[in-house]
A and B are shown apart, each in its own frame.
Chain A
Amino acid sequence: MANIKTIEKKSKAQSMGMHTEVLTGRTQQKFFNPDEAENFYYFGTYDVDFNKRTDLDVMNMSAPEANKEIDNLMSQGYGTIVIKNPQGKHSLGVGILNKLNLIFEGSLGYFGMGSCDGPIVRINGRVGWSCAENLMAGKVVIEKNAGSCFGAAIRGGDLICKGSVGARTGIDMKGGTIIIGGDAGAFTGFMMQRGRIIILGDVGINLGDSMYDGTIFVGGEIGSYGSDAVDAELTSSDQDWLRRKLKVAEIGEDFDVSKMKKIVAGKKLWNYDNLEPTEKKGAI
């Protein structure tokens, strides 16, 4: 009888098997409108055409000037912009929230392509620290090597480095995919919370240290596992996804994904709950 009462109280989400526990969270009290118009771009962004192409020489420009000029070109409808002579300048191409095909003919310095949402970017060179930090959506391809903190805190999109990357790749990442064609440094996937990292080469020490969730795939040797990073079984679904993603990344298409190692969170660090403050109070 008690069971029947419990079932009676079930909401739609519960009866669909969406949850079994009671949680309270933040709500916007917002509802989707099923009749919303079919629109693919953010409100107020520029309507650009991929076939409308232009070059921009940034040799004598500062980073803010170059970024403003990119914005200006987008406002004129240019959908493909080739940046000439970036000369390792820092913070180039940041904050682009638009559909765009952006090509850099050279290398970038620190914080290149940060906080972007949507563009397809190709960098025909190297990148410094924190490339594509906080990427929300889109695709960023680096033809050579990348520095430390590659893809720090990304939330979505595909970030691809065809060469090798430094330490702390994907630190604090909350979504998206990072693909490395070469080797990765120490603390790769440090504190990652969600998303996926693929490394075709070797990886340094403390892989996935303190990772909360997400998945890391490694094709080469692992220096050492970090705290709470554990092996998991590579499923056929994983292998299909890996093959598709490597094709998207234009690297390692012939790579034997069936021999890759899969690393996930051991979930021993999942200790946060409502009871903790009470327990702490009791202990004091």
Chain B
Amino acid sequence: MPKKKTKKIKSKGKSKKDKLSTFKETAREKLIGQHIGYRYDVNLLPDYKKITPFLKKYIEAMGWDDLNWLEDVHMGYEEDRPAVFCRNANGWVTIPKSIKLPNNQQDRDMIARELLVKFQMSPKHPLVDLKKAYLKF
């Protein structure tokens, strides 16, 4: 039984290139058994070939030439689940199980960007209530 499960996971395994945490452990990290720093490569530059139709429309609507602030958005994780960091809410927003994620980071990042824009522009965003309660002018 355990063998079967192992095989399944192995078949889904990614090459080292696809992994987010492909850093060399420093001596300090080995000692404490904990990774120091960000959870993914924050300097990864976007691959514009992977851009989604929604993001194209968003860029056009804003009048920008490229992904602008979204270049810094990547798919990370929180509490063992894929998630995106929302800087406006200052917290991680989790990807629902119903969304199937592709195997490479560039595609995942584009999905993260699209979901984050939709989340931030939604009337259900946590800041909308805060704005109603605390807006001064």
Instruction: Give A contacts to B, CB under 8 Å.
Output: 4-5, 7-8, 10-23, 25-34, 36-44, 50, 99, 101, 118, 120, 136-139, 155-158, 175-177, 194-196, 213-215, 237-238, 241, 244-245, 247-248, 264, 267, 270-275
Q: A26-B91, A30-B94, A99-B62 are in contact. List 16 more A-B contacts (CB 8 A).
A: A8-B2, A12-B97, A17-B14, A21-B33, A27-B78, A28-B93, A30-B119, A32-B115, A34-B96, A36-B118, A43-B125, A139-B65, A155-B69, A156-B69, A158-B68, A194-B42
Across the interface, A32 reaches (CB within 8 A) one of B6, B38, B119, namely B119
Q: With A175-B72, A176-B69 as given contacts, are A27 and B79 in contact (CB-CB < 8 Å)?
A: yes
Question: Judging by beta carbons under 8 Å apart, are A32 and B118 in contact?
Answer: yes
Is B50's CB within 8 Å of the partner chain A?
Answer: no
Distance (whole angstroms) from the CB of A158 to the closest CB of chain B: 6
Question: Judging by beta carbons under 8 Å apart, are B62 and A40 in contact?
Answer: yes
Distance (whole angstroms) from the CB of B79 to the closest CB of chain A: 6
**How many of chain B's residues touch chain A, expressed as a range?**
35 or more
**In the bound complex, what is the Cα–Cα distance between A49 and B20 (angstroms)?**
41
* A contact residues around B87 at 8 Å (CB): 136, 155-156
Question: Judging by beta carbons under 8 Å apart, are B45 and A241 in contact?
Answer: yes
Between A and B, 7 residue pairs with Cβ closer than 8 Å are: A4-B3, A18-B39, A38-B118, A43-B128, A156-B68, A175-B69, A272-B36
- For A274, the closest partner residue in chain B by CB is B34
Closest 7 CB pairs of A and B: A156-B69, A28-B91, A11-B80, A17-B19, A137-B69, A13-B77, A21-B35
**In the bound complex, what is the Cα–Cα distance between A34 and B54 (angstroms)?**
13
Question: Judging by beta carbons under 8 Å apart, are A39 and B63 in contact?
Answer: no
Question: Judging by beta carbons under 8 Å apart, are B121 and A43 in contact?
Answer: yes
Contact code string B16-57 (vs A, CB < 8 Å = 1, else 0): 001111000010100111111111101101001000001001
Question: Judging by beta carbons under 8 Å apart, are B64 and A120 in contact?
Answer: yes
Q: How many Cβ-Cβ contacts under 8 Å join chain A to chain B?
A: 210
* A contact residues around B95 at 8 Å (CB): 31-32
- For B121, the closest partner residue in chain A by CB is A39
Question: Judging by beta carbons under 8 Å apart, are A28 and B71 in contact?
Answer: no
**In the bound complex, what is the Cα–Cα distance between A273 and B58 (angstroms)?**
39
**In the bound complex, what is the Cα–Cα distance between A44 and B123 (angstroms)?**
8
Question: Judging by beta carbons under 8 Å apart, are A18 and B72 in contact?
Answer: no
Instruction: Give B contacts to A, CB under 8 Å.
Output: 2-3, 5-6, 9, 12-14, 18-21, 26, 28, 31-40, 42-43, 45, 48, 54, 57-58, 61-66, 68-72, 75-84, 86-87, 89-99, 101, 103, 115, 117-126, 128, 131
- For A215, the closest partner residue in chain B by CB is B43
**In the bound complex, what is the Cα–Cα distance between A270 and B32 (angstroms)?**
13
* A contact residues around B70 at 8 Å (CB): 156
**In the bound complex, what is the Cα–Cα distance between A247 and B65 (angstroms)?**
9
Question: Judging by beta carbons under 8 Å apart, are A14 and B14 in contact?
Answer: no
Q: With A27-B79, A42-B120 as given contacts, are A16 and B101 in contact (CB-CB < 8 Å)?
A: yes
* B contact residues around A248 at 8 Å (CB): 65-66
Q: With A17-B21, A27-B92, A43-B123 as given contacts, are A214 and B43 in contact (CB-CB < 8 Å)?
A: yes
- For B54, the closest partner residue in chain A by CB is A38
* A contact residues around B119 at 8 Å (CB): 30, 32-33, 36
Question: Judging by beta carbons under 8 Å apart, are B58 and A40 in contact?
Answer: yes
Question: Judging by beta carbons under 8 Å apart, are B128 and A44 in contact?
Answer: yes
Q: With A7-B6, A11-B80 as given contacts, are A32 and B93 in contact (CB-CB < 8 Å)?
A: yes
